[in-house]
Structure 1
Amino acid sequence: MLRLLLVPVFLVLLVVGEDAWALLVLAVASLTDFLDGLIARRWGLITRLGQLLDPAADRLYIFAALLGLAWREVVPWWFVVLVVGRDVFMLVLGVILANFGFGPLPVHQLGKAATFCLFYALPMIMLGQAFPDLAWWSQPVGWAFGLWGVFLYWWAGVIYAVETARVIRIPRADPASRSDTLDV
């Protein structure tokens, strides 16, 4: 919950150009995410709510970073459109799966790698903004991870689309036609 509460703080700091403070908030959020996951796995405290809120918080931080940096013209809007567009694409796939009676697909490793790249890229870009003496290496590294992350993000999206198409073609047993029902 702390991570979610820090998202608007992070966004405001980013929009007003307080990149060093925004990075600190992001570091605190990342540390609490790590500790939360560690505690949950170690003591078996994994909940469905946590499984939903954790990736939601991750997406909100990416979205906030993209919006804040694009607002200040640090990243181009086409980059924002590519990242957010993929998330909208995944939302559509989720609706399609739900309409066919399926839950979300399992997370693919490629999607995790893409998210890691974006999680690494945006703070690196912010680092160069916060500390211009570091920009000579943090900006190229950040952009390399960012562009690679977007490519992997969409590649994973295509894999999810193919898997969605495969899953919705699986015949589902009609509960009314099951042989174990009693005729009265």
Structure 2
Amino acid sequence: MESAEDRIFTLPNLLSFLRLLGVPVFLWLVLGPQADGWAILLLIAAGISDWLDGKLARAWNQTSRLGRLIDPLADRLYIFATLVGLVLREVIPWWLALLVVGRDVFLLFTVPILRRHGYGPALPVHFLGKAATACLMYAFPLLFLASHQGWYAEITGIFGWAFAIWGTGLYWWAGVLYVVQVRQLIRG
């Protein structure tokens, strides 16, 4: 009999899979036809589905190993794809993208350490990491909007950069806390 943790076919997992499928579509919209309106709508839908899949998984007791793996994977891929699109379109400087991606590269070094000590590839995400991801997911559509010539460009630019700076800072802070968590686990 399949345990609740081993379930694959749940609504939260379906939402995460759909988010994963949206990543290449998003990149195509940004880099191909430069259909920014559709790209922003897809990014907003991804953000909403990210919130919704976690909410449903907890409310309906449908948390699973697969969900804990693909949900943050979808988040990271959206962040990476958006950074690529924003850099190639010259909306943000390359150093900001490197700063955000550098945190994930930094944390990759914890995976073999965790596995060597019998833990899964990742520890549970804590609130600070979720807050950082939320800030970045708010920042990206706002920065896309700010790159256009419209009455909204200045205000979306201010808010977009505020969320980007806070999100990047929180993203790194969450990464440092994650490393501390790994260290405490290994010592214990």
Coarse TM-score class (shorter-chain normalised) = 0.7 to 0.9
Match of 1:174 in 2: none
Gaps of 5+ in 1: 171-184
- Determine helix, strand or coil for the equivalent of 2:151: helix
Q: Share of identical aligned residues, percent?
A: 55
- Determine helix, strand or coil for the equivalent of 1:80: helix
Counting matched residue pairs gives: 170
Match of 2:187 in 1: 169
Match of 2:20 in 1: 4
Q: CA RMSD in A?
A: 1.8
- Compute the displacement of 1:68 (Å): 0.4
Change (3 A) 1:41 1:28: same
- Determine helix, strand or coil for the equivalent of 2:114: helix
**8 Å contact kept, 1:19–1:129:** no
- Compute the displacement of 1:80 (Å): 0.8
Match of 1:133 in 2: 151
Match of 1:113 in 2: 131
- Compute the displacement of 1:136 (Å): 0.8
Match of 1:82 in 2: 99
Higher CA-based Rg: 1
Once the two structures are superposed, residues 92-114 of structure 1 have per-residue CA deviations (whole angstroms, 9 ceiling, x without a partner) of 11222112222332322222221
Distance in 2 of aligned mates of 1:155 and 1:34: 21
- Compute the displacement of 1:10 (Å): 0.4
- Determine helix, strand or coil for the equivalent of 1:133: coil
Change (3 A) 1:168 1:35: closer
Q: Are 1:28 and 2:65 matched, yes or no?
A: no
Change (3 A) 1:39 1:167: closer
- Compute the displacement of 1:19 (Å): 1.1
Gaps of 5+ in 2: 1-16
Match of 2:8 in 1: none
Match of 2:171 in 1: 153
Once the two structures are superposed, residues 142-173 of structure 1 have per-residue CA deviations (whole angstroms, 9 ceiling, x without a partner) of 11110111111111211222222222122xxx
Distance in 2 of aligned mates of 1:79 and 1:70: 9
